[in-house]
Structure 1
Amino acid sequence: MTPTAGSDRVPRRGNVPRPGQEQRPGWVPRFGRVQRLVHRATGWLMAFCVGTAACLYFPPLAELVGRRLIVVAVHEASGLLLPVPVLLGLFSASFRADLRRLNRFAAYDGEWLRRALKRLRSRPAGKFNAGQKLYAAWIGGAVPVMLFTGLLMWFGGLLPWIPRSSAIFVHDWLALAIAAVLVGHIRMAHRDPLAREGMRTGYVRLDWAREEHPNWLG
């Protein structure tokens, strides 16, 4: 991520409702339709990937579900499609603006991490806090590696100088790490219903935004 003094201070035009869109008193726009659709589609594809992987690797689940060939096909298809929502989202200027915010580690993000480790409630953050930026960076790096190692497992002779056993080792252990991080992400989202409201409807309460993301609204 690129360090910066703080470039996500004010919502940009991509987060402002279109003309005629209903305004909600006491609420502010946070995510446009593209961001919400990308998040939703990526979440479902990730759920299919993780769920089918669990059915393939844990014998009790494999016996319960059965139909191994179908499970393998769903796993492979969802894995191949996983980057597609983000790639399609790049056609949206507002989505690209949010990606730039996620990729820039501002000066106050270090303070957010220090306060988070001390479990202090008040933490400085822009539109995305440091935890969300680290999570996005982790997923953004892990998914291409999973896709690459999955292709090496699928097509045995794709790169003959890389042993298939090495691809399996990386794929399996990285999958466990992704699952653990996803559990943490879901747990944090479950603890903050107002944040979930923002991803579901595109709006968040103004008082929540000022408390949780003070450097976003200014």
Structure 2
Amino acid sequence: MTLRAEAHTPQVTEVRRFGPVQRWVHRTTAALMGVCVVTAAFLYVPQLAELVGRRELVVRVHEFAGLALPVPVLLGLASRAFRADLGHLNRFGPHDRTWLHGALARDKRRSARPAAKFNAGQKIYAAWISGASVVMLGTGLIMWFTHLTPIMWRTSATFVHDWLALTIGIVLAGHIGMALGDPEARRGLRTGKVSREWAEREHPLWRP
């Protein structure tokens, strides 16, 4: 009887990759980052700036979107699953060095790209964009509250803010390009589930 029941048990073809909190944090952060990037483009690119009738409104939207950027992550810390994912992103092991070596050598063999829940590229991106966002928030506040800091600070903050914004735009474009090339990864962020075949191929060290 047990053997017959096991024979009719459907094979699990999907695994859960993200819960609702992780997906909400990613979507909300992406939306706020998108608002920051788009409004920044309208403020700094002359051809786009000419299309804006109310520049002051664009400035305010940019400022408040930047201030709100850390909020989704801070709220997400209440979730154990989200904190666990942050722990995965914060650990860099020997297999990550192997992954980076394989990526730099353009070696697409499965043995050359070992990864747990997140690969080394995703970990580096998460660390970089987090640090860059903190710097952007700090320099933005210095530029906003001009009466609280000396002119040397404001000038330096403006220089760092502007050039780092350009760098963030380029890195985000690369991130989006990578996502567009991996429909299964996008499905994981959209529905929370991915196929077991994809998980075993792209993240062989992950044990969901």
The two structures have a TM-score, normalised by structure 1, of: 0.87
1:169 maps to what in 2? Answer: 159
Conserved? CA contact 1:153–1:167, under 8 Å: yes
1:77 maps to what in 2? Answer: 64
1:29 maps to what in 2? Answer: 16
Higher Rg of the two aligned structures: 2
Which runs of 5 or more residues in structure 2 are unaligned? 1-9
More helix by share: 2
2:192 maps to what in 1? Answer: 202
Distance 1:145 1:61 in 2: 25
1:52 maps to what in 2? Answer: 39
Partner AA of 2:59 in structure 1: V
2:138 maps to what in 1? Answer: 148
Partner AA of 2:90 in structure 1: N
CA-to-partner distance for each residue in 1:58-116, whole Å, 9 max, x for gaps?
01101123320111111001000000000000000000000010000011000000100
| SS of the residue 2:51 aligns to | helix
Q: Pick closer, same or farther for the CA change 1:24–1:203 going to 2, 3 Å.
A: farther
1:117 maps to what in 2? Answer: 104
CA drift of 1:160 comes to 2.8
The two structures have a TM-score, normalised by structure 2, of: 0.91
Distance 2:42 2:55 in 1: 8
| SS of the residue 1:119 aligns to | coil
Give the number of equivalent residue pairs: 196
Distance 1:179 1:199 in 2: 21
1:179 maps to what in 2? Answer: 169
The percent identity for this pair of structures is 63
Q: Pick closer, same or farther for the CA change 1:55–1:24 going to 2, 3 Å.
A: farther
Distance 2:25 2:152 in 1: 33
Partner AA of 2:95 in structure 1: Y
Mapping 1:62-141, distance limit 5 Å: 62-121=49-108, 122=110, 123-141=113-131
Conserved? CA contact 1:102–1:128, under 8 Å: yes
